[in-house]
Structure 1
Amino acid sequence: MHYKKIIREYLNFNRAERRAIFVLILISILAIVIPSILAKFKNDKQPSTAKLEAVKILLAKSDSLKIYNENNDDIIDENNLFYFNPNTATINDWLALGVNETVAERIVNYISKGGKYYQQSDLLKTYGFTEKDLERLYPYIVFENIDQNKFVKNNSADKINVLENTISISPFNPNTISKEQWVELGVKEYVAGRIINYISKGGKYKSPEDLLKTYGFEQKDYKRLKDYMIFEEIVISETEQINQNNATAEKQITEINAATKDQLIALGFSNYNANGVITYRESLGGYYVLDQLKDVYKMDLQILDAALPYIKIDNSKIQKININAASFEQLAKHAYISDAVAQAIIDYRNTSGKFIVISELQKIKGMYANTFEKLKPYLTI
């Protein structure tokens, strides 16, 4: 049995060799089994091409709807809008009106803490409430309880009736009322701003139809307000007025920030320019340098040069704006502050807190260096 001895000796392994053989066998088994397990797992977990395409389509629709909601106000069907009081509307009401949920929560939170909105433009004070939202919802905002069933929501004539029922209208001169008064009459705030800006530069409305030349002034507002508009008549020509005043009035030193129309006319200004000086003075809050008079719309520079020796300025009469306390309306009313800059100031205060120094205003978007220098004498903190 010599061959058995040979085989026994050949298959006789020491401890280290047996361990190595065991490891090799284990590795071999794993090499065979693992690929089949992975293949099964892959087949179970990998979705079919059809499923992948379906998911892609759903995601694309979801993204497009999200973008459309965020960037396109028209996604809210106007026929679904309704009349509402911003002081009593719930979060669900605001969401139904297309307002961002975060903004809706801010509004309701503000009301719950005792806040109150008194006019449509007050909503712009709420951080995140945009001018587009205000423009879209403006005709539906009311500040007293009404029976919504009395009004057909998609009928423009009924919108006019609502405004007439909620706004008391008295005769007015379009050339003399303030921006706030236009807003109270139901005119959109940015349109009211354009009207005041036009008048502050010397423009004048001579008939109700002239208002339609102002970009954004709507036919419905024209029809609603035209019968209440009154206009001054020019009795004599401006040339005659100048000649009469030069001949009969002795020029006296006049403080420009307190001057009346008659005093300005006595200095040689035309009726038109005298009105322009006063209107522009009101939009500025007072003059602080004589050169500002050259910015009056259609100012007769020859007459101005002749009048300058008789004009003085009292800077103490300048009405200053507290940039830490002024409302959007107070800021936007100033001739050097646009609506966009006014809103940017409000937004900055809401996010960064009060201004520490006036120069900090230069951080505001749209506040250019030359504008800041002109505006600086009118600011305080």
Structure 2
Amino acid sequence: MMRKSYYQKLAFMVTLLTILLAYQKYTSREKEPFPDVKFITSTSNSANLSDFDPNTLDKEQWQKLGFSEKQTATILKYKDIVGGKFMSKEQLKKCYAISDEKFRELESFILLPEITENGKPKGLNAYGKKEITISGKFNPDRLSANGWLKMGFSERQAEAILKYRNYLGGSFISKEKFKECFIISPENYSKLEPYLLLPAKTPETFQNSAKNSMAKTKIQYHSFDPNQLDLEGWKTFGFSEKQAITIINYRDRNLRGSFKSLNDLQKCFVISAEKFQEMKPYIKLQEKQQEKTDFSKTDLNTITFRQLIEFGLDEKSAGSIIGFRKKLGGFINKQQILSTYNIDQDLIQKLISIAPLNSSDVTRYSLVDAPEEWLKNHPYFKYSADKIIFYRISNPDDRKIWKLLKLQPEYEERMRLYVK
């Protein structure tokens, strides 16, 4: 009898629990989110948006658009799934991590084609290239880069078209010449041709003047030493200013001031193989007799980086000495040079035993008069600068300030080197 009662109670409890679980599931169904997608939005965010290609965005850039780290990972994974590139806005929209609301916010800024009813990208031709749109007749001589962009050409194509126009002397001259622009495909030319406000044929006089112009601008080479050539000299050989600067920097920085061989010059990336062969017969590399430095007459406060290299120091050691001397404002004694970091001690010991040191031009101040900036930047004073500035307000006397500073003898000794 007791066993029967026990089973009845157990059955009742199971039934009750089942009912409670079913009720809880039913009442919470509408509240259960799927998927849990939350966007980081800002009312001012859309105002700061600009056109973008979603295929070029990295993780951080997607997050700047307002997506969470998890959403960004989903978008990038989705891009890989569809072949590593979004082909249209519709394809991007299908990514479940981008809500309809968020897509509407971004849609006008997305640099992707839309899909038309026939399933082809809107604004693209059969080859996947952007279609050009022409609003009416126009003179291509008056069109800016922006005008070519609006027509449907890419930024690089627009730049190439303008360069070609400049090459012709600032005008396309005729439809014939316009057609010769390599960046304009035959298909695009056939579309543009009826709208071009240009003569159909190129005048014969233009061809003659072009030949005369080429003859005039033909480079007149002469024997030259590339180690002696300055900016204007390189420009007279047909290099642009930017190219000439690159050649000079390559010579002075990479090669430490001179081309040692023809091979050195040939390696400069702005000089093409064709250009090098053109110049080669005129290149006369003279062996430079470099004057040797007399280190017994070279002041250690004026010795240059190149002279230190000449003495045998490596670039790191030479740079450290020049840098430390600049921070100090000049060396007062030779032992300071030995305290420089990253130097060859033996070689420096040899140098300071030979070279003189003139410290008469080194700037010195009293503690009362020293400029705040000088105190805070000088290697010997910067750690006590704030105290000196504070103490001298009420104690404008060097002797009192020294006492108040309570410095270790070795620190005070080196600071006093730069005090009047």
Regarding TM over 0.5, the answer is: no
Relative to the length of structure 1, the TM-score reads: 0.32
Higher helix proportion, which one?
A: 1
Relative to the length of structure 2, the TM-score reads: 0.29
Q: Which has the higher contact order (CA 8 A, sep 6+)?
A: 1
